Amino acid sequence: MQIKKAFLYFVSFFLLGTLFTSCDKEDTLPTPYVLQKEDVSVNVPDGGFTVQCNQLLKVMVTSVSDEGVSYQWFIDNELVAQTKNLEHMFEKGGEYDLTLVVNQFPIELEYDFKVNVKFGEIVIPPEGATAYITKIFDYMPAVGQFTNKLPLYENGDTQAQMNEKVLATIGNNKKGMITLGGFGGYVVMGFDHTIMNVAGKRDFRVLGNAFYADANPNPNAPEGGSCEPGVIMVAYDANKNGIPDDNEWYEIAGSAHKDPTKELWYSMAVANGNDVNLYRDYEITYYKPESEPAKENWGTYIRWEDNKGNSGYKVKNQFHNQCYYPLWADNDKISFKGTCLPQNGIDESGMDNYFVLYKFDYGYADNEVNSKDDTAIDIDWAVNDKGQRVHLPGVDFIKVYTGVNQENGWLGECSTEIMGVEDLHILGVNINTRQ
Ligand SMILES: [Ca+2]
Ligand SMILES: [Ca+2]
Ligand SMILES: [Ca+2]
């Protein structure tokens, strides 16, 4: 159908056109002039479109004719404007597909571009900046055997009071310990300056309590013990309002984000029946228990469901008697979202008495012994939702959430613990990045 109509247009245009062959093209446009692909042009700068986050990208279009012509702009296949020229502000860094569709019924012309959205500023910390956490914006652990204990919840404590307790525990180089509980539990931390992203260097370290097993019954195993990886997110305060806005967050892509099958223990975990998938859109909901159960019901203590069709119970154990559900949370159920990492825990005794939680290669919190280089993070590992590196100039806020959903027998759930954050540049610690 469309081809036939286009042909009729062409024939009528040709007949009209022949009447004006002796005149200039500008003067002789018949109505309607049928656009050819080369009749529309866009001012693409050398090197393509580059724009800073939160600043306007302006794209000018010139066309031989606008007669009966409509314009549509798409970014990553989503319609964003129906104007001839485009003005658009990008809120997130990364590379985007920009498409202009020019319609002159029944003709449709398409022009494709790339836009690179960057952060332009350079960050220099002020004199006297402290290397450690100075603010806690939010803290909500998931269900866990240390939840309500690290830090201690006392009857009536509010969210603000719990945040204060976390700051008093892990802020300002106190090096106490807080738990994030099972999958998804998180803490959001801030600083008195922007942590610089120095090119080619790691920039900060998240302190946890990971350690290696000293008597793994499996003699040929890679490093592991109590490695309970937390996924790290970072935010640059691009709009300078002093708070982490939802669109300012990027995730640090650690080793399993790149390729979980390269973890040294991967085949062991497969053989053990672990779920070794990495889910980028994982979501879990925990249901508050109505009361603390009698011992015979510890195995069905706190019900959970995820968005992959799995469900189960977080169990209570003999070592921790308090409620495992965060008691200052408003609702009787609580949901967490994020990237779920492969299950890294294996019972190496085969008798439920020696669980080893294996170490991911790099890029997570509470996954490596604090003194080692691979607790340190390069801000350049931050990626957007499409997995593209975004090269932030620095980081004002760091969020960590527990990255594995796994129960490990008497050891309990895999739960990330945090003891602090260190700005390596302020401390004068020099660690090269790694690929
Ligand atoms: Ca860096
Ligand atoms: Ca902000
Ligand atoms: Ca831990």
* Ligand 1 midpoint to CA 366 (Å): 20
| pTM, entire model | 0.90
Mean predicted confidence (pLDDT) in 135-161: 98
Ion ligand 2: residues, CB within 5 A, are 237, 239, 241, 245
Reply yes or no on whether the pLDDT at 47 is more than 90: no
Ligand with minimal distance to 144 CA: 3
* pLDDT above 90 for 435: no
Cα separation, 435 vs 21, whole angstroms: 63
Q: Which residue shows structure tokens 């957007």?
A: 384
Biggest alpha carbon–alpha carbon distance for the chain: 99
- Point out which residues pair with 41 in neighbouring strands: 62
Q: How far is the CA of 424 from the centre of ligand 1 (A)?
A: 10
- Burial call 387-397: b when 16+ CB within 10 Å, e when fewer: ebebebbbbbb
Helix (H, G, I), strand (E, B) or coil at 104: strand
Write out the E strands in 169-328: 178-179, 186-196, 204-207, 211-212, 224-226, 230-235, 249-252, 279-287, 302-306, 311-314
CA of 301 to the centre of ligand 3 (A): 22
Segments making up each domain of the chain, as ranges = 2-118, 135-423
Determine what percent of the chain is predicted with pLDDT higher than 90: 88
Residue 396 CA to ligand 2 centre (angstroms): 9
Structural class in CATH, domain 2-118? mainly beta
Tell me what pLDDT residue 27 has: 57
- The DSSP secondary-structure symbol of 407 reads B
Measuring CA to CA, which residue among 269, 417, 258 is closest to residue 343? 269
Cα–ligand 1 centroid distance for 98 (angstroms): 29
Angle, CA of 52, 57 and 62, to the nearest 5°: 150
Whether 132 contacts 421, CB under 8 Å: yes
> Residue 243 Cα, ligand 2 centroid: separation in angstroms?
4
For residue 248, how far is its CA from the centre of ligand 2 (angstroms)?
Answer: 7
Contact 115, 94 (CB under 8 A): no
Neighbours of ion ligand 1 (CB under 5 A): 197-198, 201, 203, 378-380
Ligand number nearest to the C-alpha of 364: 3
What is the number of the ligand closest to the CA of 211?
3
Cβ atoms within 10 Å of 243's Cβ, excluding its own: 14
Ligand nearest to the CA of 202: 1
What's the whole-number mean pLDDT along residues 355-375? 98
Cα 162 to middle of ligand 3, angstroms: 20
Q: Which residue has the higher pLDDT, 287 or 435?
A: 287
Q: Is the pLDDT of residue 29 over 80?
A: no
Burial class (CB within 10 angstroms; exposed 0-12, middle 13-18, buried 19+) of 22 = exposed
User: Distance, CA 242 to ligand 2 centroid (Å)?
Assistant: 5
Summarize pLDDT for 94-131 with one digit per residue, the tens.
Answer: 999 999 999 999 999 999 999 999 997 888 999 999 99
Q: Which pLDDT score, from 0 to 100, does residue 121 have?
A: 80
Query: pLDDT per residue over 150-196, tens digit each?
Result: 999 999 999 999 999 999 999 999 999 999 999 999 999 999 999 99
